[in-house]
Amino acid sequence: MNTFFLYLSILVSLTFGSPDKTITGLVVDSLDSPIPGATVSIKNTAIATLTDADGKFSITFPATIENPILIVQFIGLESQEIVIGELEYVRIVMEDSKEVLDSVVVTAIGVTIDEKKIGYASETADGDSEEEHSEAFFGTRSLGDKSETKDRRTSKGSGRALSGSRSGLPVYDDASGLDKESSKKEKPKDIPVSSESTAGDDAKAGLLTAGEVNDFMKWKLWKDIDSSNLQSFISTWRMKPQHRYCVQVTNNNQQGLTDASVYLLSNFGDTLWAAKTDNTGKAELWVNMTNYEEKALPEFELRVEYQGKTAFVHNPREFQKGINFVSMETACGFQENVDIAFVVDATGSMGDEIFYLKAEMSDIIERLEKKYTDINLLTASVFYRDHTDSYLTLPSAFTEDASKTIEFIKAQSAGGGGDFPEAVDAGLEEAIDRLEWRPEARSRILFLVLDAPPHNDEASVAKMQKLARKAASKGIRIVPITGSGTDKSTEYLMRSLALATNGTYVFLTDDSGVGGGHIKPTTDKFDVESMNKLLIRLLDQYLYLPECVTADEPDNKENEKREDEYTLNDAFGPEVTEAKFSIFPNPTAGPITIKGLKDLEEIFVTDMTGKILKRIPTNDESKIETDLGEFPTGIYFVSHGEGKARVAEKIILRK
């Protein structure tokens, strides 16, 4: 009988597990103000949570843990350890850390950070150079075995200003220290974040840092996924940019035609892909984008429509074999309309960065309006959450009054969410289908700001594919901007969306000291720059349009001024340097000679965005000749290398 009860007790234990214990509490500072985003954990375990916007927490752990100790941590404050014993509720007062306050530095972009935790070279307030630190700024605290946790998004805190910082600017840390890829601990269902509970009022533009991966700058498209973990996400999203067809549309004067409609048609007349030419007169089209399994390609043709005229290209060639050039007998059209929309994830996990992002977006709109007085600018915004939150989408329609868009953006806050995926597809659908994008425009740009992917159920995946095709057909460039907590699956999908719509991929980095930890993209090299400057640089690329000239009046001083002012950094970012090879004549009507190519196997001709247009093998020659006469007039570069190793030389093409 005793043996029976022993076996029964073991069976009950295995079936129902050990009993759990829950402790709740409140974390405040020395002024009795609640501390949101503080890490609360059980010592020597991976069990952890974050305080909510009111400083409250609830944490559950196995009752079998002997002598459990509660640890409370927050950057700039002294850590606290509390013996739990029989406690069910605890109020914790955290004091300022004198050690941290005595050792802060001001980074190059003005953010005050603990000098012991900077992962890059810094300057002190008096300008003296500091040694580069090897310890990364984010995720420096270990919370035991990371493999036991459950939901990655617990690792994103809502952030808090570091008391006593010299600049008065807020500093954010990865509040939990949990590994972004493996953390699985369940997050509280709804943690609203408001300006009252974070440093929202102190957020200023120009603080966030970012990088760019422009996959159009790569000769071998998607070479980054050949032997990387991105490969596995092709089947997740059933989307793979492949079989690329690039079309360059010009008029008889070799001027790029903007906003022409381009269709890739099967031999049965079905539209395989549709796009519009950008401000340089180029369109990007794809075959089997959303049917990623390789199969024999059908015969097809390109149809181009512009201002009532139509042209065809039979048996077009894939990009690796060259660009498809189309010339149409029509006048140059100088288009002034520019439509820009910001689509923003406003769920709770965005709370660590959303106030800074709002400041950046508002500042960019203001700067754009002041800089481009010759365009007809409309701005709009859509904030979205998830299906169980207080709202699904919250739109602000296109308006000529930029201040209305800015006021709308500034009024929003983060809240809701709970699981990792969010209603990205609903936000994009609201923006692409329901915002009134103008039928004629120089540029249509959609900045998608997020930190999590859409749901990957059948319906959501199919909707994302449909939205990518629709955005491309409307000529809407999607430029994703990913924040802290983004995973590799999201990176793959966002880079695919950027390629599908002739956009580029932007990601925030740890260098600003704002927000939780940020993953690095899967690519060879990338530059870090101010997010504000990066987006203005992209807008300069997408909005540049030479004024129309005629054969009778080929010279235009305003165009020449713009060409002279456009630099290598405007195309490639801050790290590119001037090439040692020489190009002449420059400006040119087409033919050029390039000298000084010793030890270079290949060089590339790119447009003003850095997009590769032509590969030129050197064949071990120190001097080669080539002709750019097929391209429209404008700014080009001859480049070699990638990232910080990239060198380039500007060419002006005039005819």
Q: What is the CATH number of the domain that holds 538?
A: 3.40.50.410
Q: What is the pLDDT of residue 132?
A: 31
- Looking at the fold, whether 602 and 626 belong to one and the same domain comes out as yes
- Looking at the fold, whether 473 and 570 belong to one and the same domain comes out as no
- Domain assignment of residue 554, yes or no: no
- Looking at the fold, whether 361 and 322 belong to one and the same domain comes out as no
Contacts of 196 (CB under 8 A, 6+ apart): none
β 647-653/577-578 pair status: parallel
- Looking at the fold, whether 181 and 268 belong to one and the same domain comes out as no
- Looking at the fold, whether 354 and 493 belong to one and the same domain comes out as yes
Please report which helix (H) or strand (E) contains residue 463, including its range.
Answer: helix 458-474
Q: What is the pLDDT of residue 195?
A: 31
- Domain assignment of residue 54, yes or no: yes
Residue 469 vs residues 270, 393, 405, 518: alpha-carbon distances, Å:
14, 21, 27, 29
Q: What is the pLDDT of residue 19?
A: 80
Number of domains in the chain: 4
Assess contact for 412 and 384: CB atoms under 8 A: no
- Domain assignment of residue 557, yes or no: no
Buried b (16+ CB within 10 A) or exposed e, 230-256: beebbeebbbbbbbbbbbbbbbebbbb
- Domain assignment of residue 198, yes or no: no
Q: What is the CATH number of the domain that holds 156?
A: 2.60.40.1120
- Domain assignment of residue 456, yes or no: yes
Whole-prediction pTM value?
Answer: 0.71
β 69-73/80-83 pair status: antiparallel
Residues of the chain with pLDDT under 50: 1-17, 99-199
β 337-345/376-384 pair status: parallel
Q: Which of 328, 350, 383 is the last residue of a domain?
A: 328
Structure tokens at 277: 């030419």
Can you give the residue range of the structural domain that contains 160?
18-187
Q: Which of 328, 357, 383 is the last residue of a domain?
A: 328
- Looking at the fold, whether 68 and 135 belong to one and the same domain comes out as yes
Q: What is the pLDDT of residue 334?
A: 77
- Domain assignment of residue 548, yes or no: no
CA distance linking residue 640 with residue 578, whole number of Å: 10
- Looking at the fold, whether 46 and 96 belong to one and the same domain comes out as yes
Residue found by looking up tokens 């093998």 in the block: 617
- Looking at the fold, whether 484 and 341 belong to one and the same domain comes out as yes
- Domain assignment of residue 319, yes or no: yes
CA distance linking residue 73 with residue 35, whole number of Å: 10
Q: What is the pLDDT of residue 520?
A: 93
Q: What is the pLDDT of residue 462?
A: 95
Number of Cα atoms under 13 Å in the Cβ half of residue 259:
20
Residue 653 vs residues 331, 605, 629: alpha-carbon distances, Å:
19, 12, 8
Q: What is the CATH number of the domain that holds 610?
A: 2.60.40.10
Q: Which of 511, 543, 575 is the last residue of a domain?
A: 543
- Domain assignment of residue 550, yes or no: no
Q: What is the pLDDT of residue 593?
A: 95
- Looking at the fold, whether 106 and 172 belong to one and the same domain comes out as yes
- Looking at the fold, whether 506 and 413 belong to one and the same domain comes out as yes
Q: What is the pLDDT of residue 545?
A: 87
- Looking at the fold, whether 58 and 115 belong to one and the same domain comes out as yes
- Looking at the fold, whether 406 and 517 belong to one and the same domain comes out as yes
